[in-house]
Amino acid sequence: MPTITVFIPESAAPPTPREYSRFEPDVESRDTEDAIAWAVGQALNEWEGMESAFAACYGRFCQDSSGIAYASYGTVTSSRARGMMIGQAIERCPPWLEQCATNLRPLLDLAGKFAERRNELAHGYIVGFDSGDAHSYFLVPAAYATRYQLSRTKLEQVVKEQLTSPADLLGRIKLAAGEYAYSAAQILYYRDRFRDLWNKAIIIASECWAATVDARRMGHAPLAYALNGMVSDQTED
């Protein structure tokens, strides 16, 4: 298996105070094409894990003993629409799931804000740039994705402020790439955020099952739902 080297910057701080925002292009990175491709695969894998955990939560909040809710959730292709479905489910959850609903709401909100970053990773492609003797690759918007192209105002600003010479790599990247150009380390930052959401969501799904079992013991929860929770937790591992 080939060795993949990823440039890791000294600082792993968020790109801005809002952790879901875009990074500026890292002109110091020296990533290979394979490093970018590997990082993208890593990030998208964690996102799909997070989506699967949210699906499990949806089934719990719908008190689904038949699997119909889970199946219908999977037919919705928009991440935003799926988030709205879960949002409606938690607004109508039984009393024994109210704490789980409270814990899940901020995760849904943050996932919604990260969705644009996920789409950029999923629909970008890899381009190389030269800077003197150095050569590095970045993930940039696909050429047909015109909504990521810089507006005339931004183009003029880049030319004026960040393209003072033909060797100015930051300006060249922005002119060629548009709204984003991610290094492998930046993509892995998003991967870690997606993984954190996945881990927290699957814990909430387990807490929903435990709360439902407890409610059943107290005579509140439907037996079918409690049993379904037990079966689902055994098959989702």
- Domain hosting 116: range is 33-125+185-235
Each residue of 150-171: pLDDT tens digit? Answer: 666 665 565 566 556 555 677 6
What are the tens digits of pLDDT across the range 96-140? 999 999 999 999 999 999 999 999 999 999 988 877 667 889 999
User: Strand, coil or helix: what is 76?
Assistant: coil
Asked whether residue 22 is domain-assigned, the answer is no
Instruction: Tell me whether residue 72 is in a domain.
Output: yes
153: enclosing H helix or E strand: helix 152-161
- Element of type H or E holding 20: none
Residue 231: pLDDT band (50, 70, 90) is: very low
> Is residue 180 included in any domain, yes or no?
no
CB within 8 A of 114, min separation 6: which ones? 20, 190, 193, 194, 197
For the chain, what is the domain count? 1
14 domain-assigned:
no
Query: Does a structural domain hold residue 222?
Result: yes
In a domain, 172, yes or no: no
Query: Is 105 part of a structural domain of the chain?
Result: yes
Does a structural domain hold residue 153?
no
In this prediction, residue 234 carries a pLDDT of: 35
Among the ranges given (83-87, 114-118, 127-131, 172-176), the one the predictor scored with the smallest mean pLDDT: 172-176
